[in-house]
Amino acid sequence: MSLYQELGKQLFDALNSGQSIGPLRALIDNDIDAAYAIQKELVTLRKASGEKVVGKKIGLTSFAVQKQLGVDQPDYGILFDSMDVSRSKSIDSSKLILPKVEGELAFILGKDITSKNITMDILVDAIAEVRASIEVVDSRVEDWNIQISDTIADNASGSHFILGEDSKLLNDLNPETISMKLYKNGKLSSEGNGRACMDNPLNAALWLAQKMNNQGEPLCKGEVLLSGALGPMVSVIKGNYIRMEMGGFASIHLAIN
């Protein structure tokens, strides 16, 4: 078993046990390519266990956080059907370690994006609908003691997500200025707007489309793209109740049970 396979297996076991592991970065010199190789091993194990890929998530879309971690671009992770709690609107906290929630825009693709040179116009043409979403992030690395390679290897710290029930056409909203307010147990705990996400969530989605295409893994029709946080993350524990308001969309509710 290679080092990447071994570390991918450790993250897979941590995900399923709810028991965190130590940071990985020292073992791979905090190398981004090595971290994605580990993520790929983790994804392979999850697919083998029966999980199905339904989209991608973009992380590190705050320029301030990028600077803090010493990087000049976001990262990405894979969304699985098991992560989607849009129907139940609740999450079993026994499966979580140190969860946090954030409000985001989700883009749903209506066609494959396979052009050689992907432009913003090509991306916009491929987006069939936009939904408000809450993403739950969690770290299998102990106490969120992470740097760039730790979070990438850990599937960009992905955990769960919930999509709002109503959708809009991209022409019906402005992702750059859309507002977001997130309440925990009725108290406003995070707020922001589209500019917090690489100045415009579409910029994050374009980066992802170009990145995946360059890797020979183009984005496909039907995929969900979680574009990145519009405000600060909020820590949650069992018993917390989350409500998110995003301009023009119906509110989203999520219970941590």
| Residue-wise pLDDT tens digits, 181-191 | 999 999 999 99
- Give me the number of domains the chain comprises: 1
CA-closest candidate to residue 196, choices 181, 211, 185, 183: 181
Q: What is the pLDDT of residue 164?
A: 96
Residue 172 pLDDT exceeds 80: yes
pLDDT (tens digit, 9 = 90+) per residue, 67-90? Answer: 777 778 899 999 999 999 999 999
pLDDT (tens digit, 9 = 90+) per residue, 104-116? Answer: 999 999 999 988 8
pLDDT (tens digit, 9 = 90+) per residue, 16-44? Answer: 999 999 999 999 999 999 999 999 999 99
Q: What is the pLDDT of residue 95?
A: 80
Q: What is the pLDDT of residue 1?
A: 79
Taking the whole predicted model, whether its pTM rises above 0.85 is answered as: yes
Q: What is the pLDDT of residue 70?
A: 76
| CA–centroid distance for 127 within its chain | 18
Q: What is the pLDDT of residue 120?
A: 97
- CB-based contacts of 131: which residues, under 8 Å, 6+ apart? 105, 106, 108, 163, 164, 166, 167, 168, 249
Q: What is the pLDDT of residue 32?
A: 93
Q: Which CATH number does the domain housing residue 202 bear?
A: 3.90.850.10
Cα 160 to Cα 30, 104, 234, distances in angstroms: 26, 13, 14
CA 130 – CA 26 distance, rounded (Å) = 39
Q: What is the pLDDT of residue 105?
A: 97
pLDDT band at 119 (very low <50, low <70, confident <90, very high): very high
Q: What is the pLDDT of residue 115?
A: 86
Residue 249 pLDDT exceeds 80: yes
Angle at the Cα of 87 (from 82 to 89), degrees rounded to 5?
A: 90
The overall average pLDDT reported for the chain is 94
Range of the domain at 180: 3-256
pLDDT band at 230 (very low <50, low <70, confident <90, very high): very high
pLDDT (tens digit, 9 = 90+) per residue, 120-149? Answer: 999 999 999 999 999 999 999 999 998 899
Across residues 164-191, what is the average pLDDT? 96
Q: What is the pLDDT of residue 142?
A: 94
